[in-house]
Structure 1
Amino acid sequence: MYPRPIADDAPVKRGLYISLVVLVLLLWLVPLLAVMATSLRSFDEVMAGNYWGWPKTFNFAENYTSVFTQTAMARYFINSLIITVPSVFGVLILSTMTGFVLSRYRFRSAQLIFALFVGGNFLPAQIMMIPVRDLMVELGLYDTYYALIIFHIAFQTGFATLFMRNFIAALPDELFQAARAEGASARQTLVHVVVPLVRPALAALAILTFTFVWNDYFWAIVLTQSEAVKPVTAGLNNLRGEWVSSWNLVAAATIMVAIPPVAMFFLMQRHFIAGLTVGAVKG
Structure 2
Amino acid sequence: MFPKPIKKSGRFANISYRVALPISIVLWLLPLIAVMITSIRSIEDINKGNYWGWPESFNFIENYTEVFVSTSMGQYLLNSLLITLPAVAGAVALSTLAGFALAKYNFKGNVWIFAAFIGGNFVPFQILMIPVRDLTIDLGLYDTHWALIFFHIAFQAGFCTLFMRNFIVGIPDALIEAARVEGVSEWKIFWHIVLPLVRPALAALAVLVFTFIWNDFFWALVLVQSDEVRPVTAGLSSLQGQWLSSWQFMSAGAVVAAVPPVLLFFTMQRHFITGLTLGATKG
TM tier relative to shorter chain: over 0.9
Contact 1:168 1:198 in 2 (8 A): yes
In 2, Cα distance between the equivalents of 1:17 and 1:51? 31
2:267 aligned partner:
267
1:48 aligned partner:
48
Contact 2:243 2:250 in 1 (8 A): no
Post-superposition CA distance 1:38-91 (Å, at most 9, x none): 011011211222111111100111111111111110000000000000001101
Matches within 5 A, 1:113-132: 113-132=113-132
C-alpha displacement at 1:24, in angstroms? 1.7
Letter matched to residue 226 of structure 1: S
1:188 aligned partner:
188
Post-superposition CA distance 1:216-248 (Å, at most 9, x none): 001100111111100000000111136833110
2:15 aligned partner:
15
Post-superposition CA distance 1:134-179 (Å, at most 9, x none): 1111111111101100000001111000111011111122210111
In 2, Cα distance between the equivalents of 1:28 and 1:191? 42
Letter matched to residue 63 of structure 1: N
Query: For the structure 1 residues 278 and 241, does the alpha-carbon distance in structure 2 shift closer, same or farther, using more than 3 Å as the test?
Result: same
Query: For the structure 1 residues 74 and 171, does the alpha-carbon distance in structure 2 shift closer, same or farther, using more than 3 Å as the test?
Result: same
Contact 1:164 1:279 in 2 (8 A): no
Query: For the structure 1 residues 179 and 130, does the alpha-carbon distance in structure 2 shift closer, same or farther, using more than 3 Å as the test?
Result: same
Letter matched to residue 27 of structure 2: L
2:79 aligned partner:
79
TM-score (norm 2): 0.95
1:171 aligned partner:
171
In 2, Cα distance between the equivalents of 1:7 and 1:281? 22
Structure 2 unaligned spans of 5+: none
Aligned to 2:235, the other structure's residue is in SS state: helix
Aligned to 2:50, the other structure's residue is in SS state: coil
Query: For the structure 1 residues 100 and 43, does the alpha-carbon distance in structure 2 shift closer, same or farther, using more than 3 Å as the test?
Result: same
C-alpha displacement at 1:11, in angstroms? 2.9
2:146 aligned partner:
146
Letter matched to residue 168 of structure 1: I
TM-score (norm 1): 0.95
Query: For the structure 1 residues 265 and 243, does the alpha-carbon distance in structure 2 shift closer, same or farther, using more than 3 Å as the test?
Result: closer
Contact 1:170 1:281 in 2 (8 A): no
Letter matched to residue 116 of structure 2: L
Post-superposition CA distance 1:98-144 (Å, at most 9, x none): 01100000000111111111111011111111111111111111111
C-alpha displacement at 1:8, in angstroms? 6.0
Query: For the structure 1 residues 110 and 55, does the alpha-carbon distance in structure 2 shift closer, same or farther, using more than 3 Å as the test?
Result: same
How many positions carry a matched residue from both structures? 282
1:69 aligned partner:
69
C-alpha displacement at 1:9, in angstroms? 7.8
2:30 aligned partner:
30
Query: For the structure 1 residues 2 and 57, does the alpha-carbon distance in structure 2 shift closer, same or farther, using more than 3 Å as the test?
Result: farther
C-alpha displacement at 1:281, in angstroms? 7.4
In 2, Cα distance between the equivalents of 1:152 and 1:164? 17
Query: For the structure 1 residues 241 and 7, does the alpha-carbon distance in structure 2 shift closer, same or farther, using more than 3 Å as the test?
Result: closer
Structure 1 unaligned spans of 5+: none
Query: For the structure 1 residues 279 and 143, does the alpha-carbon distance in structure 2 shift closer, same or farther, using more than 3 Å as the test?
Result: farther
Aligned to 2:49, the other structure's residue is in SS state: coil
Letter matched to residue 107 of structure 2: F
In 2, Cα distance between the equivalents of 1:186 and 1:228? 43
Letter matched to residue 229 of structure 2: V
| Moved segments of 4+, more than 2 Å | 5-13, 241-245, 279-282
2:258 aligned partner:
258
Q: CA RMSD in A?
A: 1.6
In 1, Cα distance between the equivalents of 2:249 and 2:243? 15
C-alpha displacement at 1:5, in angstroms? 2.2
Query: For the structure 1 residues 280 and 213, does the alpha-carbon distance in structure 2 shift closer, same or farther, using more than 3 Å as the test?
Result: farther
Contact 2:43 2:246 in 1 (8 A): yes
Are 2:106 and 1:92 aligned?
A: no
Contact 1:163 1:279 in 2 (8 A): no
In 2, Cα distance between the equivalents of 1:242 and 1:67? 11
In 2, Cα distance between the equivalents of 1:227 and 1:52? 33
2:216 aligned partner:
216
Aligned to 1:241, the other structure's residue is in SS state: helix
